[in-house]
Structure 1
Amino acid sequence: MSDAEVLLMVDDRPSSFTRYAARELAGRLVLLRFADARPDLPEDYLRETAHLPAFRVREGASPAEEARRYRDWAAGLPTPPTRFCNPSEPRQAVAQRFAELAGLPHLTGRQVALVRDKAVMKSRFRELGLRTAEFARVRSGAEIERFAGRHGWPVVLKPVDSFACLDTYRLDDPGGLAGIDLGARDWMVEAYLGGTEWEACAIVLDGEVLDVWPSAMPCRPLDIVDGAMNANISVGTGEGPPVDLRALVQRIVTGMGIDHGYAHMEFFLIDGEVYAGEIGIRLAGCEIPANHGHAYGFDVFGATLAVYLGRRPDLDYRERRCAGDLLLPLPGTGLVRRITSRDELLGMPGVIDAVLKVGADDTVTARRASHNASGYAHVVGASIGEVESRMREVLARFTIEVVAREAHTAPT
């Protein structure tokens, strides 16, 4: 493919990847924004990307009409986009449908279901010969209790289209159902798996998995949303799981007919056996992709953009170490009174980069989600154990004080 091809990219929140693309693809990048995403696009980010053409999909308008309006608009650009990238998990269905109507490469409706509806996804895993946790769609507490009667407590309850552990719960008994509205969404329940949970990221071109990068998780996502350390560690050394990861991801990619893109997978290793968890065809959340770049010493975002532009990337690894992203706590909702500075973080052992998303006097809102954080630090080391130890030292030294607005404004 020619280097001159232009990419249309969904842009509904600032991220390291979208910021990289905005810097590196000037003249070859067009942004696709949705009207309801503006609250997630802060003014500084809008200024940062103001040099790029951006098409905004109107809220409430028909997809066909918006695609027609886009085609007319894109025809006036120096070079209209011929490639498409959607890094947004919750917008998969609407974004891929838009790309289809706009005549761009896209996931089909069936493929969107395979990577978004977790019950459909796990059924496909089983058709491909992979083990999964026992699971079932459910609509009531009684159905959940019957499932637990067959497979035992605890169980995991989640919406079929959840991500980042939003509205995902470990239920240890029927009492855990209190306060959960099962009528608002489509839900499923799974047997709780033991063993070790791993992640794997891959890039795909022309249906071929070019490489896979494993990540260790010091704590499970379901424990993270309840307060455990929030971190992922890319394993560039030989400490990864004893699994042929490329063959594993290739089986799924082939079985789902995925032509190109970034794949992010979670799986469990139990007594030497792999149990497939979930897969997404979009960049991994938090700073996991950046971890791979730090662990292997290569341009991970450039490689990702290459496959979305239809080009084979240069996977020239110059490093072999472990590198992780430690999400810094955001302990509550209210006003930030004080927080450890970036310079202090950079002075801690193994910390090579740090980003604070909030500062003193900012108003913050904590959420029960695996990406809830006040910022992050990239931590490197020679082994998983060394990185985890350094992360725990960072947490021990990091401070953030959040007070309720009422407490801050109350008269003295």
Structure 2
Amino acid sequence: MLLLVVSRRRSFTRHVLERSDIDTVLLRPQTSSVEVPDGRPVFPLRAGISAEAEAERYQRWLSRMGLPRPTFFCNPDESAQSLAHRFASAAGLPHLSPRQVRLSTDKLAMKELFAAAGLPAARFREVASIAEVKEFADRYGWPVIVKPAVSGSAVDTWKVDVDQLGTVDLALRSRPERRWLAEEYVQGVEHQLCALVHEGRVQDAYVAVNPAPVLDALAGAMNADITLAPSEPEPVDGRAVAQRLAGALAFRSGYLHAEFFIGHDGSFVMGEIAARIGGAELPTSHGLSRGFDMLAAVTDVYVGRPPLLEYTRDRSVGHLLLPVRRGVVSGISPLAELTSMPGVLSGVLTVEVGDRLDPPRASNASSGHVHIEGTDSKVVQERMADVLSRFRLEVSEGHH
């Protein structure tokens, strides 16, 4: 019996709900705007109420609904980490401790974690003003990364040069309650690292490469991640890095997701870490790359089972986010046109003609996605470029 937090990870949620060997109760933080699957029992978790009071209300709700008490817990939702795991603790479920939540959600605390794991990270300092950003840049050079200590999907994260400080100044002044950091800009290639952990041991790890760093994707570069084929050389021993992170975090079971850079000089630099399932369709890419059910393996580690890792494929598979921009959609490429292109395995369009779009400045903003295969990551990237050259999204200003 699993208590699962409702999240944007719809593919994962759907997989869990379809499992015949697992009964699922859903937990939905009232701060969440994600829709609940029809006909499923869902407990609404209130913010601003003590976790102990909510746990008591939850037990009464289970009894009233005639539901058995879940013994396992999974929260794929980054924004709900603190609230959800406090509740899980009060309800007697497996959970992350406040220390683990802090180390895996607070970008300043992550630096402590990387140091404890013996892994290098970009130099940084906490900042509260443009003057402090300039001081940091005077020491380490421009450009500088400025970002909130707590945020996701690169929201309010900026790569700035000395003549671009106005935007950051506005952000610092408009949100004085937030903690911010300035970070050294790493010139190199961004990668994703995912790992399945069972009883404290990394069962396997999966490395993906970003054709362009996420911050460049926000400015219009290709927004994608490409899982390396098992036969491709890894830029770093992903399994060993993940085990160091799991050890420093005292992480027992679940999914670890991290980002790292390989500098143009070959250096390895940690970026960020999260103690939850990887974003968007990244886990699906890992499964397609190796020809196994990645979502089943993820679910298994959250219900205390070792994952079944029987790989049947050796290929690279990438997940390409299709561009989106503001306006009313007047035309868009048919999905069938995109999925007929070489290497395209599947795809989803999330907008249609007539939709009014006002996408946020976030790494997950898109008009849909496609999964693309190739013998290695270079082939996949070339095929992604072909899809982008064919993809058409027409928007007009429209009328309110």
TM-score with structure 2 setting the length: 0.94
User: 2:39 is matched with which residue?
Assistant: 51
CA distance in 2, matches of 1:201, 1:215: 8
User: 1:329 is matched with which residue?
Assistant: 323
* Pairing 1:256-405 to 2, within 5 Å after superposition: 256-270=249-263, 271-332=265-326, 334-405=327-398
AA aligned to 1:206 is E
* Pairing 1:7-406 to 2, within 5 Å after superposition: 7-13=2-8, 15-24=10-19, 28-38=23-33, 40-41=34-35, 46=36, 49-75=37-63, 76-173=65-162, 175-178=164-167, 179-182=169-172, 183-270=176-263, 271-332=265-326, 334-406=327-399
AA aligned to 1:55 is F
CA distance in 2, matches of 1:130, 1:180: 33
Greater Cα offset, 297-306 or 57-66: 57-66
CA apart distance, 1:174? 5.3
Instruction: Deviation per CA, 1:134-163: give whole Å up to 9, x if none.
Output: 011111111111111111111100001121
CA distance in 2, matches of 1:196, 1:175: 23
Greater Cα offset, 77-86 or 23-32: 23-32
CA apart distance, 1:384? 1.1
CA apart distance, 1:16? 1.5
CA distance in 1, matches of 2:20, 2:6: 14
CA apart distance, 1:405? 3.2
Q: How many residues align?
A: 394
Return closer, same or farther for 1:137/1:305 CA change in 2, 3 Å cut-off: same
CA apart distance, 1:239? 2.5
1:27, 1:52 within 8 Å by CA — same for their partners in 2?
A: no
Greater Cα offset, 237-246 or 341-350: 237-246
Return closer, same or farther for 1:162/1:58 CA change in 2, 3 Å cut-off: closer
CA distance in 1, matches of 2:55, 2:133: 42
1:26, 1:52 within 8 Å by CA — same for their partners in 2?
A: no
> SS where residue 181 of structure 1 aligns?
helix
Instruction: Deviation per CA, 1:68-102: give whole Å up to 9, x if none.
Output: 10122224544211100010111111111111111
CA distance in 2, matches of 1:252, 1:405: 49
AA aligned to 2:309 is L
AA aligned to 2:294 is V
Instruction: Deviation per CA, 1:322-354: give whole Å up to 9, x if none.
Output: 00011011121x321121122111111111101
> SS where residue 377 of structure 1 aligns?
strand
Return closer, same or farther for 1:339/1:169 CA change in 2, 3 Å cut-off: same
CA apart distance, 1:14? 5.2
> SS where residue 277 of structure 2 aligns?
coil
CA distance in 1, matches of 2:24, 2:285: 24
> SS where residue 250 of structure 1 aligns?
helix
> SS where residue 232 of structure 1 aligns?
strand
Return closer, same or farther for 1:293/1:365 CA change in 2, 3 Å cut-off: same
CA distance in 1, matches of 2:377, 2:7: 33
> SS where residue 171 of structure 2 aligns?
coil
Identity %: 41
2:227, 2:289 within 8 Å by CA — same for their partners in 1?
A: yes
Q: Which runs of 5+ in 1 are unaligned?
A: 1-5
CA apart distance, 1:26? 7.9
CA distance in 2, matches of 1:122, 1:196: 20
CA apart distance, 1:364? 2.3
CA distance in 2, matches of 1:375, 1:395: 12
Return closer, same or farther for 1:59/1:276 CA change in 2, 3 Å cut-off: closer
CA apart distance, 1:121? 0.9
CA distance in 2, matches of 1:340, 1:113: 43
> SS where residue 149 of structure 1 aligns?
helix
2:329, 2:395 within 8 Å by CA — same for their partners in 1?
A: yes
CA apart distance, 1:306? 0.1
AA aligned to 2:44 is R
